[in-house]
Chains A and B, each alone.
Chain A
Amino acid sequence: MTKLKTHMGRRAFIKNTSLASGGLVLGFSILNSCKSEQAKEMAVREMPKEWFEMNSYLKIGDNGVVTIYTPNPEFGQNIRTSMPMLVAEELDVDWKNVLVEQAPYHADKYGFQFTGGSRGISARWEPLRMAGATARQMLIAAAAETWQVPKEEVTAEAGVLQHAATKKSAGYGEMASVAATLTVPEEVQLKEVKDFKLVSRSQKNVDAKSIVTGRPLFGMDIQEEGMLIAMIEHPPAFGLTLKSVDGEAAKAMPGIKDVVTIKSFKDGYEKGGFDTNAFPELVAIVGNSTWEVMQAKKKLKVEWQPITAYSETIAGFGGKQTINIPAGLESTTTHKSKMEALAAKPGKVVRKDGNPEVAFKNATKILERSYSAPFLAHNNMEPLNAFAHVAGDKAKIAAPIQIPSFIIPTIASSLGIPKENIEMDLPRMGGGFGRKAYAHFVVEAALISQKVNAPIKLVYSREDDMTNGIYRPTYHATYRAAFDENNNLTALHVKAGGVPESPLFANRFPAGAIDNYMAEEWTIDSNISIGAFRAPRSNFMAGAEQAFLDEVAETMGKDAIQFRLDLLKRAKENPVGERNDYDADRYAGVLELVREKSAWKENDATKHRGVSAYFCHNSYAAHVLDLKMENGKPVVEKVVCAIDCGVVVNPDAATNMAEGAITDGIGNAFYGELTFQDGVPQKNNFHQYQMIRMKEAPKEIDVHFVQNKIDPTGMGEPPFPPVFGAVANALYKATGQRHYSQPFITKKEVVG
């Protein structure tokens, strides 16, 4: 067994007797109406009379029912099931007796409540198991004390404590009141992977019943007494800001309470990396109902003016960074020509192995290809929204967001209240994909509530949501490969850039597998705001790299999978350079698994298949995608997928997420695109922005996981990036044409 120090903060284990009978006191419970169906059913069946808080993650009722507080916000990755599973596994309790509650934002109790970067499970893997194991150990100690037997002789399994010699037995609920008074052990033993009874066995989504019966769950569903609806009007173009507003006509509309202006940041406020906001000065309109506010919004008379160029220092994940925001109204055509111009010039060399210049000079043959992809909007099904009630120096907020701790300082600064006075609940998000990591809309909701002195729910229309920014950037990459007279690959050169960010990962495969290698990058400043979008940067680089490698393999007359495996063999046995950030064995593992599961054959003329593999977020994913053309349209018949993300906590839920990532990737590869004309996004709703629909989704998806005992790594993002390469490579087989520029299908037929 693994013995681990309980290094969770002591404060996480502070027991407060005043809480013992009432359970966790959350200050206010804005989501009372959003209690899960599961909780309702339990309430009828068997709610305990008394709860005993074991630590901030769990409390045990006198009848053995356990409530587990799931710390991270949920946006569809099903951590509200898989995180409590980790606690329940080590507590060793029957899953049927577990209730799941969403923890509110509380940094002292729950640490970094971050949903993003595919790090939820990996970051919580040890702490959540420790929370369960600690409570189990305390229950054992309580039984030993009560029965006056050595605690080494007490067993705890499936919610039952037993002492074999004296034949004593008690449910966890019976010992919870004693256990809750005991000292937290300094060391706990965690189970070995082989001893798991719950983890690695598929459990159903704890919220599924609520979802299929339409229970209130989402931020958008919040209804509070006296709550007003607010909407915002932001500039119609990037590069513009608010000049003046005449809200009289809007205010005269039925049901309208007020029209106000808000400023999202106090002057001189040092922004964090997730304070991104192209439109910090807004008009807000507040009224009784959403429809009335939507109608009145059309009557706003707003004057906008051009922004002036500025620089600002952002304190982001990687330290402080200065970014330049230019003035002007940008267009896609200009972006494209600027990107092509920079791609033709030397970039900033980020990595160089061997002597690529000489290798290219001496090459018998050079293959050069350029790839590009447009801006993308996240288009979560639930438009941005937040509830706020600011009264005096206190704020109650319900925020469907990915990183609550990062927006608290901004809310406190902008409202001018202490951050301790902000209470925040974390309702379920109707999608996130990175967009809801940027919580400017919560600041806006708080400021509007403060201004109108009422509880409000801020609702973005679909059009507001799609045109507000924080997009996946537009990118460009040029790959070159050098071959000698024997058609051997002698050098590889990648030069990548984007508006306004470079997508390059210089130390990823195939770096390390090629003697002469060079990676360069460049960027173009922009006033269009960008941010994380499922597997940032990887979601472009994987497609470009894997499409290029496909063409290199073809040039060399090699099988697409064997060629990649040969490179990985080289990277493993005799790696070039020391900074290669992938494990060649695990990389090869997913390729071998997908080769086996897809029954891949060399030179298979019966199918139009594309293969692609990628590493990101510490996990490995490979796809084989089969495609055929029907009436000039590609139809994805089947995708076989292999993933190595270490231990899979909830296999069916992870499979669901991989299926989603594959469908999402196909949709964006085929159709995803946002363009600009004079700063104006050229699409504002789904009649213009084509999303993948059921007809275009793969007919079959077959997901396989590499079985190992490695601590879990990322899962939400890794299967997404390689889809773009698999689509490009299969499309080539089906059409004979290589596709270099996303979206691959430009003539759109949008259905409603």
Chain B
Amino acid sequence: MAIFNLNINGETKEVDVDPATPMLWVLRDHIKLVGTKYGCGIAQCGACTVHLGDNAVRSCQLPVSAVGEQKITTIEGLSEHGDHPVQKAWLEIDVPQCGYCQAGQIMSASALLKRNPNPSDEEIESAMNGNICRCGTYTRIKKAIKTAASSENV
């Protein structure tokens, strides 16, 4: 066990855990931020996607010891009032079915738009291909990303 001071959603959180513990479980079990989901544990489904700095990463493969002072943003911290353009687009298009994968989808989508505010269909598909939606909402996800891209202040 070791103590880590983590910068999560702009706040410092102290945890005392095994250094090998993936951020997914640090977030869910220790910091009680359960918006980040467990889907596969092997970086194949994207349900656990968070931002490390500005990049979308699979938190199930990110040991807490590798985070250091880098900022972590989870779905809970993406915006203060749930009004990030991607979240707003998700509401406008009414994307979710079961909803379990959607936090991960939104984190991948918002990271994409940050580095590429006007992605083509192909760029969207490439950026989102690591996120599985078992309910099959892909057409709506794509539409919502385009809606968000066309809105201001991405």
Chain A residues within CB distance 8 Å of chain B: 37, 75-78, 204-205, 207-209, 211-218, 220-221, 223, 229, 254, 289-292, 294-295, 379-383, 428-433, 459, 461-462, 652-653, 656-657, 659-664, 667, 685-687, 691-695, 697-701, 750-752
Contacts and interface: CB of A to CB of B under 8 A. Distances in A.
Interface string B1-44: 10000000000000001100110010011101111111111111
Contacts of B30: 289
Most buried by A among B98, B129, B142: B98
B75 A214 contact: yes
Nearest to A653: B94
B18 A254 contact: yes
Contact of B134 (A78, A294, A431, A662): A431
Given A289-B25, A686-B45, A752-B44, A211 B76 contact: no
B116 to A, nearest CB: 16
B96 A291 contact: no
B132 interface: yes
SS of A interface (majority): loop
A700 B25 CA distance: 37
B139 A381 contact: no
Contacts of B36: 214
Interface in B117-142: 121, 124-126, 128-142
A686 B96 CA distance: 21
B18 A291 contact: yes
Contacts of B43: 752
Contact of A291 (B25, B33, B37, B121): B25
A751 B135 contact: no
Given A205-B94, A209-B91, A686 B22 contact: no
A371 B147 CA distance: 42
B94 A214 contact: no
B106 interface: yes
CB-based closest 9 A-B pairs: A214-B35, A430-B100, A663-B136, A76-B98, A214-B75, A76-B97, A697-B138, A660-B136, A686-B44
B140 A656 contact: yes
Interface residues of B, number: 62
Interface of B: 1, 17-18, 21-22, 25, 28-30, 32-45, 47, 74-76, 78, 82, 87, 90-91, 94-103, 106, 121, 124-126, 128-142
A30 B124 CA distance: 39
Nearest to B126: A695
Most buried by B among A77, A78, A291, A693: A291
B19 to A, nearest CB: 11
B87 A212 contact: yes
Contact of B102 (A212, A380, A750): A212
Contacts of B96: 76, 205, 207-208, 211-212
A667 B136 contact: yes
A414 B57 CA distance: 43
A686 B43 CA distance: 9
A216 B38 CA distance: 13
A659 B136 contact: yes
Given A213-B76, A652-B94, 15 more contacts: A214-B34, A223-B32, A223-B34, A229-B29, A289-B29, A289-B30, A290-B25, A290-B28, A290-B38, A295-B18, A381-B132, A462-B41, A697-B136, A697-B138, A698-B139
Nearest to B28: A290
A220 B25 contact: no
B99 A292 contact: no
A531 to B, nearest CB: 17
5 contacts: A205-B94, A291-B17, A380-B134, A381-B132, A694-B128
Given A76-B98, A214-B33, A429-B98, A292 B140 contact: no
A189 B63 CA distance: 61
Given A212-B82, A214-B33, A254-B1, A691 B91 contact: no
Contacts of B142: 694
Contacts of B106: 212
Nearest to B102: A211
A662 B136 contact: yes
A381 B39 contact: yes
Contacts of B29: 229, 289-291
